[in-house]
């Protein structure tokens, strides 16, 4: 492998990848989410267009039926102690006669899992992978008038994942009408062979499909615009035989391009038009960006020629109460929180995510690692009773890997190839975890069982298979895209180093193995190494920050997530910087200290003895409510030079980070009620102040909404933060009172989330207990004009009302 790996930009599809502009185009793309019928369980002849489904429940997509629960020990710890099972969906729709050879397609962004789709009783296809989009042509079986689309989802093997996958049609569905001559699915490729601040060359390749009975003579034209100005255009005439697909290549020259970066994610609009006999027959519009990326074994990573560190996090696709059916606005809020913590990179662990999440990363400026698999030909351990408790299961994607891996990997890349945010493709996460499942004799020599396993297991597949399969996957990935490097996240580097696996990768990710960075850089000088999954300790970041060759890290994780839960009653992972509701945790502020330049000053307190927390949970808290007689440790998280602590106006001393050498400044004192204040100093001047006050009982409910108006004509979403305050207006951190949220007007309550990892409350209810004094309500509008009124009540407290208008 070469020491230097160089690639250049590609684009970003702001709409649906491969789906087109809705406005004034012969191609029409419409969300197909409303009016579906749903039944949980098996149905005889559920695909038939004659059965009576009137008693089925009406649902709106995206829909995740696993999150409806209930939580129970009969299910698996790995998947959040929530059920799977079979679900049936049916949608009846009227279709006028298809004229002019028009084609009608149904596009699913993701169905988990083992989906089967029928139209009017005719099987359209099966798709095992729940994370990969797919499309079917409805035209051959479409009838004038009434049509019935049926989808069966089979998640019977509920312990099939190491996280919460969800169940059902949990992503958007689109109905797409195309002309007989049209741009194929994911049929536009935009790359930039040369990019500089002075000029850029863009290569556009368009795959055009002719389904008409005659040869089509067409003109393909692409225009690149910035705002209202056309900055480049090109056109080409081609002839396509009937039932054939043919590429058309165009070149666009742009002067002084506005480059895409994490701080300035500049985007252009690319509009590609197909004309036949002078008439527009197809049009495709997307947002694209110009940027260069370069990786070097000694120098690290360069974006647009500038050396930088990736400050990344790993994420899963769920959002607590919403399960895996998460609206775009929720992820927009979450990404804004990640910007606040200094994050500039995201690892899509461990599967392709929702279409709009990549769009948000493009528009908000995040570097992205897109990942295809968590297991290959053999199943990993899936914990059922709890992490390392009892006997695990091994169900999962591995049963489909042989037949589907090549197609799924190709589809992941084809769908997302035009996103400037994506800077690497991953073919696997921890596939080499020792003895889970691959093994090698080197595992007999290790002293640390967590790293080396329990020694070689003869009945497990040999580690040599890692290189053999990786070779196949790398070849497939590079056939789909040569503009980005191929990577994987390695958990057992010691074992993998005995195989060809790392050498086949352009970038080699190390999971929790910072101690090997220097040694392996010396042993494999051409290997480009980075932290693909890391703990939150300051030492793990220093291994990146102080090493020029290590270009970044990806923390596990950005947000708490459902599943990987440990033992009952815990049903979610607390690994995040932010909790399930997107509220910052202590680690959020600790990470700000390392990653942001603005002043950071935050107080957390813990008992000196006796307070123990569960796996992934910190018992320290930003509260000054403790028991009389407690000895407490007060920690100041800061990137300032010095901090001075005051209790009830009395100084407890000023401390300097240079004097202590510690990541946190701390004081240990006997607890007493009152006011705790810390002042942060830079160059001897106070630049920031933070305080904690002993709070009284909850006396009021206070709300903060992230918007005052809903947008008319569309389903919009507001986040409503709900807090308990005492008589003086202080947050009552310890409050766990139950709240009831009622919504009237043109909106509905989509869900309530507080962040408690062990709560088994029904997520479908409009009642929920606060956690750490807070609760988050998701309010979704219908798009109809009117006033939405949200009323929040709690026993013994006056109700609070919030009104959100629909903007004109």
User: Annotated catalytic sites, by residue?
Assistant: 430, 533
Classify the C-alpha dihedral 226-227-230-234 as positive or negative.
positive
Cβ atoms within 10 A of the Cβ of 34, count? 12
> What dihedral angle (degrees, nearest 10) is formed by the CA atoms of 636, 638, 643, 648?
-40
SS3 at position 330:
helix
CB 183 within 8 A of CB 206: yes
| Residue whose tokens read 């690639």 | 7
Give Cα 239 distance to the centre of its chain: 41
Distance CA 529, CA 508 (A): 5
| Residue whose tokens read 């040569």 | 482
Nearest to 367 by CA among 190, 575, 508, 554: 554
**Which token pair is 183?**
């741009």
Give bridge partners of residue 367 from the DSSP assignment. 345
Give Cβ neighbours of residue 611 (< 8 Å, ≥ 6 apart): 619
Nearest to 27 by CA among 177, 149, 198, 135: 177
| Residue whose tokens read 């929920």 | 768
Q: What single string gives the DSSP state of each residue in 451-520? A: HHTTS--TTSPBTHHHHHHHHHHHHHHHHH-SSS-EEEEES-HHHHTTSSTGGG-SEEEEES-GGGHHHH
**Which token pair is 572?**
């979610």
Give Cβ neighbours of residue 382 (< 8 Å, ≥ 6 apart): 76, 78, 79, 159, 160, 161, 162, 392, 393, 394, 395, 396
Classify the C-alpha dihedral 421-425-428-432 as positive or negative.
negative
| Phi, psi at 686, each rounded to 5° | -70, 125
| Phi, psi at 629, each rounded to 5° | 95, -10
Give bridge partners of residue 633 from the DSSP assignment. 606, 668
Tell me the CA distances in angstroms from 472 to 266, 402, 409, 468, 796, one per residue in order: 36, 11, 11, 7, 64
Checking phi first, is residue 218 left (phi over 0); if not, alpha (psi -120 to 50) or beta? beta
Distance CA 257, CA 264 (A): 12
Burial of 80 (0-12, 13-18, 19+ CB in 10 A): buried
């Amino acid at each position: 492998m070469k020491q230097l790996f160089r690639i250049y930009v590609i684009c970003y599809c702001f709409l649906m990848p491969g789906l087109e502009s809705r406005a004034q185009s012969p191609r029409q793309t419409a969300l197909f989410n409303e009016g579906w019928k749903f039944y949980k369980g098996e149905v005889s002849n559920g695909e038939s267009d004659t059965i009576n489904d009137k008693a089925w429940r009406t649902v709106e997509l995206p829909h995740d039926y696993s999150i409806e629960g209930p939580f129970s020990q009969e299910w698996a710890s790995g998947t959040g102690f929530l059920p799977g099972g079979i679900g049936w969906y049916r949608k009846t729709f009227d279709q006028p006669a298809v004229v002019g050879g028009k084609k009608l397609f149904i596009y699913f962004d993701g169905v988990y899992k083992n989906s089967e789709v029928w139209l009017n009783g005719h099987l359209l296809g099966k798709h095992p992978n729940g994370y990969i989009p797919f499309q079917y042509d409805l035209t051959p079986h479409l009838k004038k008038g009434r049509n019935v689309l049926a989808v069966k989802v089979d998640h019977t093997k509920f312990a099939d994942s190491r996280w919460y996958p969800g169940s059902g049609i949990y992503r958007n569905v689109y109905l797409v009408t195309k002309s007989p001559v049209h741009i194929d699915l994911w049929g536009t490729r935009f790359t930039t062979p040369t990019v500089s601040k002075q000029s850029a060359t863009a290569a556009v390749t368009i795959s055009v499909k002719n389904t008409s009975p005659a040869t089509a003579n067409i003109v393909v034209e692409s225009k690149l615009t910035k705002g209202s100005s056309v900055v480049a255009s090109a056109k080409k005439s081609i002839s396509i035989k009937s039932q054939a697909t043919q590429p058309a290549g165009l070149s666009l020259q742009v002067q002084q391009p506005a480059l895409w970066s994490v701080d300035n994610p500049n985007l252009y609009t690319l509009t590609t038009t197909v004309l036949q006999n002078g008439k527009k027959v197809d049009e495709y519009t997307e947002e694209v960006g110009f940027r260069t990326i370069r990786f070097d074994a000694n120098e690290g990573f360069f974006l647009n020629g500038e050396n930088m560190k990736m400050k990344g996090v790993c994420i899963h696709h769920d959002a607590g109460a919403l399960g895996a059916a998460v609206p775009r606005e929720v992820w927009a809020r979450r990404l804004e929180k990640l910007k606040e913590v200094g994050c500039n990179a995201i690892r899509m662990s461990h599967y392709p995510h929702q279409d709009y999440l990549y769009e948000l990363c493009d528009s908000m400026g995040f570097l992205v690692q897109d990942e295809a698999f968590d297991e290959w030909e053999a199943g990993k351990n899936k914990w059922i009773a709890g992490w390392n408790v009892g006997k695990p299961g091994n169900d999962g994607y591995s049963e489909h890997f042989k037949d589907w891996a090549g197609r799924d990997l190709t589809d992941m890349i084809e769908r997302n190839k035009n996103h400037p945010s994506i800077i690497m493709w991953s073919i696997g996460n921890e596939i080499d975890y020792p003895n889970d499942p691959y093994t090698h004799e080197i595992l007999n020599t290790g002293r640390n069982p967590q790293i080396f396993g329990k020694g070689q297991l003869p009945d497990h597949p040999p580690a040599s298979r890692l290189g053999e399969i990786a070779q196949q996957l790398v070849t497939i990935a590079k056939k789909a895209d040569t503009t980005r490097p191929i990577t994987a996240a390695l958990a057992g580097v010691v074992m993998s180093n005995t195989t060809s696996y790392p050498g086949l990768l352009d970038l080699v990710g190390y999971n929790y193995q910072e101690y090997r960075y220097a040694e392996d850089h010396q042993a494999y000088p051409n290997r480009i190494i980075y932290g693909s999954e890391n703990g939150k300790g300051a030492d793990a970041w220093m291994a990146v920050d102080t090493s020029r060759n290590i270009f970044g890290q990806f923390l596990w994780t950005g947000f708490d997530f459902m599943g990987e839960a440990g033992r009952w009653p815990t049903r979610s992972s607390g690994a995040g910087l932010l909790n399930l509701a997107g509220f910052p945790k202590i680690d959020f502020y600790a990470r700000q200290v390392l990653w942001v330049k603005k002043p950071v000053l935050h107080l957390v307190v813990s008992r000196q003895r006796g307070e123990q927390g569960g796996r992934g949970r910190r018992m320290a808290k930003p509260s000054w409510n403790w028991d009389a007689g407690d000895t407490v440790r007060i920690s100041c998280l800061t990137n300032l030079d010095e901090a001075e602590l005051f209790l009830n106006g009395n100084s407890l001393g000023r401390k300097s980070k240079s004097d202590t050498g510690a990541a946190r400044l701390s004081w240990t004192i006997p607890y007493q009620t009152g006011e705790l204040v810390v002042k942060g100093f830079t160059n001897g001047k106070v630049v920031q102040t933070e305080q904690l006050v002993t709070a009284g009982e909850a006396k009021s409910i206070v709300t903060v909404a992230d918007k005052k108006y809903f947008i008319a004509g569309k389903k919009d979403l507001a986040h409503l933060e709900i807090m308990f305050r005492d008589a003086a207006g202080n947050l009552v951190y310890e409050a766990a009172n139950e709240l009831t949220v009622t919504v009237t007007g043109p909106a509905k309550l989509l869900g309530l989330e507080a962040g408690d990892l062990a709560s088994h409350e029904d997520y479908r209810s409009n009642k929920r207990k606060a956690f750490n004094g807070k609760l988050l309500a998701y309010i979704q509008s219908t798009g109809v004009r009117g006033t939405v009124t949200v009323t929040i009540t709690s026993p013994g407290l006056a109700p609070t009302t919030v009104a959100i208008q629909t903007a004109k």
